[in-house]
Amino acid sequence: MNANRTFETLIERPARARLPLRVAGPVMFILKHAWACLFAGLILIAVIGTKAIWSPGWPINRYDALFGIALVIQVAMLAFKLETWQEAKVIALFHITGTAMEWFKVSAGSWAYPEDAIFMIMGVPMFSGFMYASVGSYIARVIRLFDLRFTPYPPFWMTVVLAVAIYVNFFAHHFVPDIRLVLFAATAVLFWQTRVMFELGKTYAIPLPLAVLFASFFLWIA
């Protein structure tokens, strides 16, 4: 049973059978997003939960426990087919990129991880990459669950140039003026006409900048 079929069987069909037609659409929209956030939600619960209960005298460091919990979650999602191997590749890319970004930010003094850990490299505990992987997991899962399409999509080379500029600014603003506001504006202009098409009983469309703004807001809260 694939991840979409699991959601349909366990959540969507029972919910639609019990809900009025007008209510079912908005409820399914929320539930699908919650399902897309499964990996991220479990990681967030682990971070908050361990922070609330952990004692310095316990035989395992909290950061190491979080690393182990994240690994177990990842393996379980693949084993129970809640995540595809293609999504796992996307998550791995986010994990590697995020860890590299953490190494730089910690070395630059932007922030620090005050607790001890065995699984720590250059001052960055290995669980931190899973926080970035959570974002990758959400993006991959929400595209599949809602059958997202992006149209009209800008020329690919333009998106590559913008992405490179964003990453360069992420590192370079420690040494040269920060141009993130310019990059925000450039992103809005480039994707202004792009619509996100998604399926929820019927086809809907919303502007991509608006969709990204909502997603970024909830990510900021998390």
pLDDT tens-digit series, residues 17-61: 777 877 777 888 888 888 888 899 999 999 999 999 999 889 999
Strand partners, 198: 204
CA angle 60, 64, 69 (to 5 degrees): 105
* pLDDT score at 33: 86
Question: Cis omega before residue 152 (within 30°)?
Answer: yes
One digit per residue, the tens of pLDDT, for the chain of length 222 reads 565 667 777 777 777 777 787 777 788 888 888 888 889 999 999 999 999 999 988 999 999 999 999 999 999 988 988 888 888 888 899 999 999 999 999 998 888 999 999 999 999 999 999 999 999 888 888 888 888 999 999 999 999 999 999 999 999 988 899 999 999 999 999 999 999 998 877 888 999 999 888 888 877 876
What is the rounded CA–CA span in Å between residue 110 and residue 98?
Answer: 15
59 is in which domain, residue-wise? 3-221
DSSP annotation of 10 = I
Residue 123 DSSP SS3: coil
Tokens (6 digits) for 143: 């595209």
* pLDDT score at 45: 94
Q: What pTM was computed for the model? A: 0.83
Q: How many domains does the chain have?
A: 1
